[in-house]
A and B are shown apart, each in its own frame.
Chain A
Amino acid sequence: MSVLAVTNLTKRYHRGGKPFAAVDEVSFDVGPAETLALAGPSGSGKSTIARLVLRLIEPDAGRIDFEGANFLALSGAALRARRARLQMVFQDPLAAFNPRATVARVLDDPLRIHGIAPRSERPHRIAALLERVGLDTGLAARAIHEISGGQRQRVAIARAIATRPSLIVLDEAVSALDVSVRGQILELLLDLQRQERIAYLFISHDLGVIRAVADRVVILDAGRIAESGDARAVIADPQSAVGKALVAAMPKLIRNRP
């Protein structure tokens, strides 16, 4: 059974007075411990799908099933409990946190709110989470605005895994990271997936990254699915016009190896 199943999802906005569908009848599913990537040009609807799945916004039509339950029908305590199982890491780590909060505070919140660990155990848990994402435990006392962009993104990942979710929605989570850290983070994500069977809805404009981490890919264009399939097969030989254009425009590193 799939962790997440999305059926005919539609979200409309207005632009210049006229309605348009930012997400237009989109259907896909994500299995346990699977990574499904959403790719597509800027403005194609990727983040809107992420927000819909997280119920940060409500769809105009369609259905979302999460862990076998009709997610759109949940409310109150049932929704809160289910949300611990569905975490997110966004493009823009500064906006996700109060910049004055310390790293320890950011990691303490989910442990406390979802009753993951008693108070006495939390400092130890926080240190373990930091180590897990490759950060020095000394960072715990720092304010969020006092660490680098890449360090912040690792804190965001540490927070997402704190509640042992079954699905993490990652929206451009590694786009701002340098290659060495990005490689480590991707390894970490894969490692977590294997050990804890976490599924990822992995949004990225970077096909090189998608090819390295995703099992399957869905390519969106103007709110609709242009094509989907095995990630490496689709990227090696895209069939849709938009898929072809995205692949053709990849920056290439031309090296004359000695």
Chain B
Amino acid sequence: MTALLSIRDLRIAYRRDGIEVPALKGVSLDMEAGERLAIIGESGSGKSTLALAVAGLLARGSEIDGTINWKIPKSQAPHSFALPSVLPDISPTRGEISSSAAGSPPATPAVGETDRDSSISPQVGEMSGRTEGGAVERQPFHLHDRPLLLGRDIGFVFQDPSSSLDPVMPIGKQIAEVARTHLDLTWREAYAKAKTLLQRVRLPDPDSALHAYPHQLSGGQKQRVAIAAAIAAGPKILIADEATSALDTIVQAEIVALIRRLVSEDGMTLIFISHDIALAASLADRIAVLRRGELIELGETSQIVNAPQQAYTRALLDAHLGLDAEPQLDRQGTSA
């Protein structure tokens, strides 16, 4: 079986004042359709960078090397999608989304030419890539005649929930707009869908919440709205960057159950970024551990949790603050 997502030797550096700051140093990873992958690692290890890169959302000016290939099958088995209407216009003759960055192997069906020195800055939803010194326009994340679309192909929940919400638009309209744009619905249908989605993410009183502005919601409520917007068009891939970090355990458990259902019933593929290793383990088939831009360990969840190969992974497991263990913090102040 071919991988849905194939990442080879991905290197990403941010450029600041002419200096390159490496964020990912040669990451390779494959994902199957329908798989649930968790990415864990310490702050600054490159988790968000990896997530943004695979969604084609990296800021312009970042240096990318290596390849990211998406292969989305042109027809899904009918039972594998609960919402077939969600994917109305993937062209039947062209079923492959692929992307290629500089240095991609010739076998990769890249759009545009590969050019060793060029840097790309994929922007999902925008037709133009960056042009380098008069070279061909790059559209690295591309389904031959259209880019990989945020919302329709990939749902992205950003680490910072307010950055995905428009502060001056009622939240019902924000969700409805995603559904309307990608699912070809009328406004009335889109609003009905928005309300259903708010129910699915367990927002209290969805009727009045439709008319609320982001500042009128609590942190956890905003996070749930961001999740609702991300899944509104029934994307095949959901990338959730710390999407449940502001939620209490009760709502978190409900959101995790919702994500599980989306994966099993709607055939969604999940990339779940979390600093909470227990949460990651409860949701993922496999866990990838990033450290300082490198993928230091990747394995089945049970292997990572029970038989980690790396000391760093063990340290992450030991640092988990559960209710069962004695907290390791020194509260009595002997160290002054």
Contact = CB atoms under 8 A, between A and B. Distances in A.
A130 interface: no
A39 B249 CA distance: 11
Contacts, number: 177
Contacts of A95: 160, 162
Given A94-B162, A151-B44, A181-B43, A194 B322 contact: no
Contacts of A150: 42-44
Among all A-B residue pairs, the 5 with the closest Cβ atoms: A150-B43, A42-B220, A16-B208, A178-B275, A212-B327
A251 B159 contact: no
B63 interface: no
A17 B219 CA distance: 22
A122 to B, nearest CB: 22
A149 B160 contact: yes
Contacts of B212: 15
Contacts of A180: 42, 315-316, 319
Interface string B79-114: 000000000000000000000000000000000000
B85 to A, nearest CB: 31
A209 B44 CA distance: 21
Interface of A: 13, 15-17, 39-43, 46-47, 91-95, 142, 146-151, 171-172, 175-183, 186-187, 190-191, 194-195, 205-209, 211-213, 235-236, 245-247, 249-256, 258
Interface of B: 14, 16, 40-45, 48, 159-163, 204-205, 207-208, 211-212, 216, 218-221, 224, 242, 245-253, 256, 275-279, 281-282, 305-307, 315-317, 319-324, 327-331, 333, 335-336
Given A187-B330, A249-B252, A16 B43 contact: no
B293 to A, nearest CB: 11
A149 B323 contact: no
Contacts of A205: 220, 246-249, 252
8 contacts: A42-B246, A92-B162, A171-B219, A177-B275, A178-B45, A187-B330, A207-B249, A212-B327
B205 A15 contact: yes
A93 B43 CA distance: 14
A39 B248 CA distance: 9
Contact of B331 (A43, A190, A253): A190
Given A16-B208, A205-B247, A250-B249, A149 B43 contact: yes
B193 to A, nearest CB: 20
A222 to B, nearest CB: 10
A211 B245 contact: no
A207 to B, nearest CB: 7
Nearest to B253: A249
Given A41-B251, A146-B16, 5 more contacts: A41-B248, A43-B221, A179-B277, A180-B42, A258-B306
A256 B306 contact: yes
Contacts of A213: 329, 331
A236 B336 CA distance: 28
B246 A91 contact: yes
Given A142-B16, A246-B248, A177 B43 contact: yes
Nearest to B319: A179
A251 B282 contact: yes
Given A207-B323, A211-B321, A92 B282 contact: no
B316 A255 contact: no
B44 A13 contact: no
Given A179-B316, A247-B323, A194 B249 contact: no
A235 B327 CA distance: 13
